[in-house]
Amino acid sequence: MALLEPLLAILDTARLTLRAPEASDLDAVFEVHADPITNRFNPAGALVSREAAQALLEGWQAHWQAQGFGYWAIALREQPEQLLGFGGIMAKPIEGHQGRLDLNLYFRFRPQAWGQGYASEMAMTALALAFDQLRAPAVLAVVRPSNMPSRKTLERIGMRLKGALADVPGQAPSLLYEMSAEHYATVPKQVPPPTPFGA
């Protein structure tokens, strides 16, 4: 996977600024990932310490340093200092999926940002990065079966249900969604309508 130029550490979409996470984002990382509302479908639950948030952030930053891309800190273009959430693509092993590194699509937003199409807008940019610049064969996303808002978002951007992963002991398998390079070439590139809040 090719190392990207540093200028891709900041990208603008129609409404959003997407940039590489910084050390100063620690408070926002903790707030978003420690919120029980944003983690209502997360079988691991919310983060319980700033140390855990620090480890998460440092992992994201290490990926940026090694690969030249990774999960973004996401804000409105008009309010770049107020982070809405985090998301993007990162190369990581997906448990139960052949033990290799895959590009994983991820997003987590503050509740006040839900229902406005920000996840789709970010995700479409991430898919363009994956296929147009990284020339990736596929992008995957893992989601809990009950997480209907995220499932609808994935389906609206054209990702298709590929299978299930027994990744949470004692619970129903997670669902594995995929966008292949071949399928990406056929899907519309405009951002789809937002998933209704609370759907």
CATH of the domain at 133: 3.40.630.30
Q: Note the pLDDT tens digit of each residue in 123-178.
A: 999 999 999 999 999 999 999 999 999 999 999 999 999 999 887 777 888 999 99
In a domain, 192, yes or no: no
pTM: 0.89
Distance CA 182, CA 53 (A): 36
Structural domain span for residue 68: 6-184
In a domain, 1, yes or no: no
Among the residues of 68-117, which ranges form H helices?
Answer: none
- Count: domains in the chain: 1
In a domain, 128, yes or no: yes
* DSSP H/E element including 71: strand 71-76
In a domain, 193, yes or no: no
Q: Note the pLDDT tens digit of each residue in 13-45.
A: 999 999 999 999 999 999 999 999 998 988 888
In a domain, 196, yes or no: no
Mean pLDDT over 78-88 rounds to 96
